[in-house]
Amino acid sequence: EPEVTQTPSHQVTQMGQEVILRCVPISNHLYFYWYRQILGQKVEFLVSFYNNEISEKSEIFDDQFSVERPDGSNFTLKIRSTKLEDSAMYFCASSDLASGRSLKTGELFFGEGSRLTVL
Amino acid sequence: ELKVEQNPLFLSMQEGKNYTIYCNYSTTSDRLYWYRQDPGKSLESLFVLLSNGAVKQEGRLMASLDTKARLSTLHITAAVHDLSATYFCAGGPPMRDKIIFGKGTRLHILP
């Protein structure tokens, strides 16, 4: 069964360092997302991406964050200068909202997550 | 902006009992989802509800949607320990890509 894969599973970094989290969405999906979850709490929307551009972003997704789909398969989240409060689990998700396969359910399929620890 | 509220946030129940988790949302949502999360794990899709009156069942879980009341429910029948997890509902604002999650209901089923 197709799945969303994320790397690394865990990254420890020093405050102020740049971090790149990588995701390979399900191959025929067209919408891609990053969410984050702090300590098993609420799942917070960061950004959605469609047709090679950001379609929506939240207030959390400030200038320190960026996303890219560099090669047609990977979808990356970059945090330029990490802060302590960026420590969280980051989930990538993809959706078949526009794939025409499933009556536009918009169901998100999540990866296993990348745990980011900022020291 | 769509807000999604779940209650209760914590639920401890005995095996064999029935219970319902409620999910209210603040504005129109053209789709409603239920997800399950085990500790330290990813989010697993349980149900997608797209229309008023939609009801879906999988095993001991049944989800329903009332768009007029802006309410979805997740009903647990004859709970078993394996259903212990955190359950999230999430709504999708019309014509928007993002999905907004509730705070989750942490369900603990006692043997």
Q: H-helix or E-strand containing A105?
A: none
Judged by a CB distance cut-off of 8 A, whether residue B105 touches chain A is no
CB–CB of A42 and B101 under 8 A? yes
Name, in order, each residue with C-beta under 8 angstroms of A16's C-beta and a sequence gap of 6 or more. A81, A82
Intervals of chain A under pLDDT 70: 97-105
Domains, chain B, with CATH or none: 4-110 (2.60.40.10)
Name, in order, each residue with C-beta under 8 angstroms of B63's C-beta and a sequence gap of 6 or more. B34, B46, B47, B49, B55, B56, B57, B72, B73, B74, B75
- pLDDT for res A102: 43
CB–CB of B98 and A33 under 8 A? yes
> Mind telling me how many Å the CA of B101 is from chain A's nearest CA?
6
Q: Are B70 and B4 in contact (CB under 8 A)?
A: no
Tokens encoding A23: 């995701």
- pLDDT for res B95: 72
Q: What is the DSSP string of B36-95?
A: EE-TTS-EEEEEEE-STT-EEEETTEEEEEETTTTEEEEEE-S--GGG-EEEEEEEE-TT
SS3 B77: coil
CB–CB of B103 and A41 under 8 A? yes
Q: Are A45 and B98 in contact (CB under 8 A)?
A: yes
Chain B contact probe: residue of A108, A109, A112, A115 with most B CBs at under 10 A: A108
Tokens encoding B33: 């989802």
Q: Which amino acid belongs to residue B99?
A: I
- pLDDT for res B27: 81
Q: What is the mean pLDDT of each run of 10 residues along chain B (111 residues)?
A: 93 94 87 93 92 89 93 95 96 81 95 84
Task: Break chain A into its structural domains and give their ranges.
Answer: 5-99+107-118
Tokens encoding A29: 């999906």
Strands (E), A1-119: 5-7, 10-13, 19-24, 31-37, 43-50, 53-57, 65-68, 75-79, 88-95, 108-110, 114-118
- pLDDT for res B94: 74
Residue of B nearest to A92 (CA): B42
Chain A contact probe: residue of B37, B42, B48, B88 with most A CBs at under 10 A: B42
Tokens encoding A109: 């399929």
| Chain B hits for A108, Cβ within 8 Å | 33, 43, 45, 99
Rg of chain A's alpha carbons, rounded to an integer?
14
- pLDDT for res A41: 85
Chain B contact probe: residue of A39, A54, A95, A107 with most B CBs at under 10 A: A107
CB–CB of A106 and B42 under 8 A? no
Q: What CATH number matches the domain at A5-99+107-118, 2.130.10.10, 3.40.430.10, 2.60.40.10, 3.40.50.10320? A: 2.60.40.10
Tokens encoding A116: 């980011």
| Chain B hits for A42, Cβ within 8 Å | 101-104
